Every structure is written in structure tokens, then in C-alpha cells.
Structure 1
Amino acid sequence: MRLLGIVGWTFCAALLAACGGNGDKVNTPGPVTPGQSSASISSNTAVSSLSRSSNNSSLSSGAMVMTCASVEGAVFIDETCPNWQEPSVFEQQKVNSNIYYEVPFGSDGALVSQKIIDSGDALYKKVWDIQYNNNNDFNGLPHFRAAAAFPAGVDMSAYATGKLIFDIKVLASPEANPDFTVHIECGWPCYSTDVRIPIDELNTWKTYELSVADLIRDGLKITNVAMGFQIIPRWGQQTNTHFQIDNIRWVKGSAPVTTKKCFAQHFDRTDWSYTTKVETVDQMPLDSSKWLAGVGPLVTLIPQWNSVGAAWGFSVRDTETLSSCAAKGTLSVSVLLPSAYVDDGQMQLGFYFISRSGLYYILDGIPASRLKADEWNTISTTIPAGKISNAEYMGVYFDSKGSNVANGYILLDNFVITHSLVQ
């Protein structure tokens, strides 16, 4: 079976378009049924690929006069705001991930010390100051947890089309251009996929804005925000990092929610292996033990490209809602590829469905070279109306196009179909 080439694709800015949604998950477990035959769909679908990165501005919001009382969605402005606990730090040992603990406010961890200090800057006054020492045995995640007992959180539905905004100044880092990430949890392993925060200048305050709609699309259950804010220096490269945060707030949007999630698989349970399927989309033999490295709270694939022209696929299963959801709408998935796959210049990736009778519906692909390597990207396509029926599986395929690419990891998350609320 020949996988279809790309017909049309476009790029869109990472955090500007409001994708909407209510954060609900729809997942139905069930047994795996192998496919029996195949069919392809060709359509003029617009496919977008976008890197999950934040908007930033050198003009910081510190010039604005804000307080916890004056900003409804505030998490930290000179002090910790209502609905949130004082900041704490989750520390985890690198060698043994089963060794971890929460360091409360006022205490120093093995790696991280954090406090609220006077910045000496009249625009910022008191700030959240976080310092990492040179202990290379741990990673640390500073955050503001909800005041409610875990896993209960805060209903932030009013901010579904708005933004999460904060100011940051990095004073020291082991890297010349350090990368941070932000993700918001809704009761682990329910969380939004990482948003990259690139820092291109030290000792300078900058304001970053994240789209809440994108966080929802990428796994956040907005009705149960268990963590108002969390920021993480690059995993494994955290020693001797020093930064400050201020003016963390959720801001409402003026536009209404225009889409809803019809189907979503965010892998927000610890084991989804019984609802997933690893296969050769092109009907070539596949040793799945060499492919699937883990499922939940995201999927880790280690493909073995031992056949020229091989095209592997990974899909999720649903027996109740997927069939009706796949009749129309927008399909998207989060994917992270290593540079070997992006730089190869041959590999393509795209979507496919498998019907309850085993028919394969292969949608148009996009070149892997269009993605940013070693970062989360979102690829999406418009489902051809009325073409896909009785869908039982939806998946993502990776076609080497005959290239002998090196083996490497692939990360997948957030299989989502959205429908428009606008008639």
C-alpha cells in the first residue's frame, strides 16, 4: 500500500489561535482487533504544524500597577494570591525516579532554594526568587499548587479563551541560551504538554503569554487546575540556575469558545496500553517490542527502521465516540521528533483511521522537516467530511520513504478531534 504525499499544508503561530474546548476527556478501553484490508483517502486538506512555544515581549508587565486584589486570576503578584498555596518545589532523583519529595515554602531542598524577596526594582517590588545549587543528582520543579487538597483544583473555565501571563528574569544559567518549559497539571498524570520558554537574554525582565485554549487542547482539564503555575529549567541542565518570577496571572479572553472536543486521548491515566495499537501501516512485519517503550502519560516509541521503505503507525482505540467524531472536524496530535528524523529530509508523518471492519483510511502526510526538532509540535488536519465511517482506531504514521534513518525516540500525546460550535 502506498502512503499518500502531502496535498496542501500551512503553518500557524503557536499561541495566537484560540482552539477552545472544555478540557473533558473521552476514552473507552477495549480489546485490540487487527485490520483486514486497506483503503486510502486523498483530499485537499490543510495541514498545519506548529511548535509549542510562548509569545514574549521585552516590555515587561512590571510597569503596570497590579495587586492580587486587583487581578481576578492572579497567582502571584508581590505575594501569593488567594486560591493558591505558597510556592513549593518537587524534587526527583535522576538515577532513581522513585525517590522524590515536595519541598515546602521556607525550606531548602537538595537542589532548589526558593523564597520571596525584595527585587530592588521599583517596577517589581517583591518577586519569587528560585536558585538551583550544583547538586547534579536531582531535578527540581517549582510551582504554585491549588489551596484545595490534591487532586482537587480550581475551576478556571472563565479563562478558557484567555492567557496565562508571567514575567521572568534569568540571572544565571549553565547554558548561554537557556530553555525553560511550563506545563499546568490537573491532578497527575492529567496535565498540559510542555510549552517552551526560550530565554535569549540574561538579567532582563520579559513577559511571556501562553494561550489557555492551547493548554486545554493539549491535555489541561480547565475545570480542575491543580497547579496555578509551574516552570522548569531544561531537564538535566538545571544546576546553578537562578531566576525570578513575578506577576503570574490568568487573564480572561474576549472571544467565545468556538470549538468543543468530540474525542480526546490525553493518556491521563497511568496505563493506556490496552487501548492502543502498534502496527505496520504498510503491511510489513513489525516487532512491536522494539517500538513501544511506554504509554502514559504520553507515548514513547523507539522505532527500529530495519526495513527499507517501512512505514510504522501508532493508534488509539475507542468503541463509542470515535466513529461519530471522525465524520467531520479538525484532527490534531502532539509529536516530538529527534533531529535525526527532522534533518533526514525524507520522512513524512500523517494521520490514519481503521474502521471496525478493518479498512484503513490514510490521510495526507507532511514532511518531518517542517517540524522543530526536539520540541513538541502540533500537527493538525481537517477531516474530509463524510469519508470516514465506523472508525475504531485513529493513529499517526511515520514513513521513512526508503531512507535508512537512524533509530531514535518519538514522543506522542493529545490525540484530539474538535468540532465547531459555529453553525
Structure 2
Amino acid sequence: MISSRSPRQAIVRTSNWPKTMEDGLKPSMLSRYFASQRKHVSPEERIQATLSDLADSVCRTLHQTSQKHKPCARYLLEGLPRVDRQETLAWMAQAFDVMNFPQTLFFDTALLLDRYYACLPREDLSTADSQRRLLAAVCVAIKTGSNAETQLPLRQVVTHLGHDEVSFDDVIAAELCILRKLRYDVGTPTPYDFLEALSARLKDFQLSPENFSLADYLLQLSLADVIFHYRYPHAVLTAAALLLALSCTGAASAAHGVVLEDLALHCEDADQNGMLAQCSRELHALWTMACSQEQNLYVHHLKVKFAKRSLHAVSLLQAPLTPALLLCGARQGANPDLPELGNSSMTAYSGLRLNKAWTSSTAFSYVRRATDRERLWHEILRVAKGSQAPVTPLGLDRISQADYRRPRAASWCGQRPARTTVKAGAARSP
């Protein structure tokens, strides 16, 4: 079981539900996969067979709905400054982890807030308004999209998250404001929904348990760079994260081919003009930056959350040295004429053990070249760190330890803390 929700719950989540499969189209491998579950021993798996006639058209609708409601990054940054958004994400990463909310709730809430702040015309937002709207977005996500089962009533959840400082009636009023601004178009597909849909057929492979958690971590990490996160379709971004995870854990090339086949159902032109490869390279660069010592506050809390054993400690894994071989296994799975490379793509990741099946000289030649690139890459990083003007790609804000500011009492919900700084090594107030 790689996800808390079934593939059926992820695939059927669209605002426009298609009635039947389009006439004249040959059923895809995903549709055949669901059809093969009709005689499964498990009743839960047999339920998935009901999607066999709808999977193809629903995947296309999922992508179209996501593109229709995807916010503009430029408008978003005008409505919500980058620093305020980073601190809001940091609070969500901590609070949702403490409340043991499902991972999908994080994406639902973040997308709701991003869509709201990107809407025009904008309103003057005070600190109290931001607090109420953040809690209101959590309420909307719990009610409509996350399938979360909270042990406490919604009023008590809001009271606990708000530290008894925000009235529940004010939160409900802010919830109505969000719904009106978004024209009641809520529950729209998030990258997590695409992750579950693209992972539906991967259950038949003997994959490492870290795959899904690592892809989830990379998707949440992409939220740190709002320009990058909304530059590509969510289906392409999710496929890039999943292919990176599969490559880094040494998955078989057939698993990469499955992801590419199912991605074509969502977005047929995903690999045109190198869009998928470019997205993978930028996501790899973002991951490399997150592995460095200098991190912003959101990335710091995200790494702490995904360092837990329940999430397979994927944030402790080091990023691959180069994304050059990451799509090699994927293209190999999509094109049977390419030579078989086995698990050679795993050599790009130096933090995993070598597969015991690697006994041929060809396999060890890949290992030798990967080691040479590793030394060269570390030398480049060493020289770059000694330069006077380091360049930060992708717009990821770095905050050193000396730049951390003492938070105010109102900073629990993503407000900018006070500008007083603390000395390096000094204890920070809770």
C-alpha cells in the first residue's frame, strides 16, 4: 500500500465528471489494469474495476481541470509576498504534522490559499484577516477535498489551531469569503491527486517503500519556489518527481515506462519540446539546494517532517549528482528498441547500496563514471561556496541561522515575525 487513499479516489476527483469513455478509442493500459481487478480476492481491489470504462476520459479531465484553475504565480506574489507565503507554508508543515493530518490536506490548503491570493481584485489584508483566512482554507479543505477523518469536531480543530485567539464565527465568515472569491470552485486537482493516479499501476512492481514518500517530499519541496511550482502542468511536475524517486531508488525501467504511459493519458504533449526533462532538471536543482546547509524556514520544517521513520526518512537522502541518467530508464521502458541497462540509473545516487545483481563489467563502468562525476561536482560546489557572490537558482530564498528572526505571538499562522534578530547559536523562542 503506497498511499492513504485508493487510486479510485484520486482519479475520480474532477469538477466535470465524464459519463462514458470516448467512442473509437482503444482502452489504455491503465483501463485494462482496472479491468483486471474484477476477479481480485480483495473487495477493495475489485471496486477499482468500476473505473475501467472511465479511467482514460477522467485522466484527461483531471488535467484540464487542473490547468483551468491553476493560479498565476505573478499575481500570487503580488497578492501574497514571498516571505509571508514561506512562513505560511512553514506553519502548515508544523501544524499539520502535529495534528497528524493526511498529506493530501496540505496540498489542498496550499492550493486554496494560492488561488485566493492570486484572484483579482485584491483586498487589504490585515494580520487578523490572514489568520482567519488560513484557518478558513483548512476548513474548506477538510470538508471538500482531503477525505480526512478528524477525531475532534471541526470547531475544536479550529480552536486548537488558532490557539483560542480566533473566533470560530469569524473563520466561517472568512470561509464564505474564500468560496465567493473562488466562485465555489473548490476541490480542484492538486499534485498529490496526480501522484496517486500515476502510482496506481506501480503496485504490481516490487518497488522500494521510499518511492512514494520521496515523490511526495519533492512535490512539497517544489512549493518553496512558487514560480517553478506553477510553471509546469501539475501532471508533468508530478511525473518528474515520481521519475526522480524511481531512478534514485533503482526501480526497474518498466516502472518508468508505466509512469510515462499514464502521463500521456493526462497530458499528451507532456514530453514535447523537452518539457518533462526540463522540469526534472529544475526539480533536481531544487532538491540539491535543499540538501545544502542553508535553508529557508519552510524547507527546514519540511525536512524535519520527512526525516521520520513513518515517512522512510527520505529527507535524509542526498540528491543525485546529475539528472542526466534519470530519464534514461524511463525512455528505455517506453521504447523497447533501446538496449537494456538494468539498474544502471541507480548509479547517479551515491547514498544507496549497490545492487547485488551488478556483476557485469558494464555495470561497474557506469559506477566508475558516476564516481568521477561526483568528485567533479563536489569540487565545483567547493569553489562556488568560496566565491563572494553565490548565485541562488530557481528563486529559492535561503535564510541563514543569523537571519532567523524572533517570532511574534501572531506568527503561528504565517505572519511575518518581528525584525529583531538573534545571534548565531543563540536559542530561539518557541
Higher relative contact order (CA 8 A, sep 6+): 1
* Greater helix fraction, Structure 1 or Structure 2: 2
Same fold (TM over 0.5): no
* Greater strand fraction, Structure 1 or Structure 2: 1
Give the structure-1-normalised TM-score. Answer: 0.24
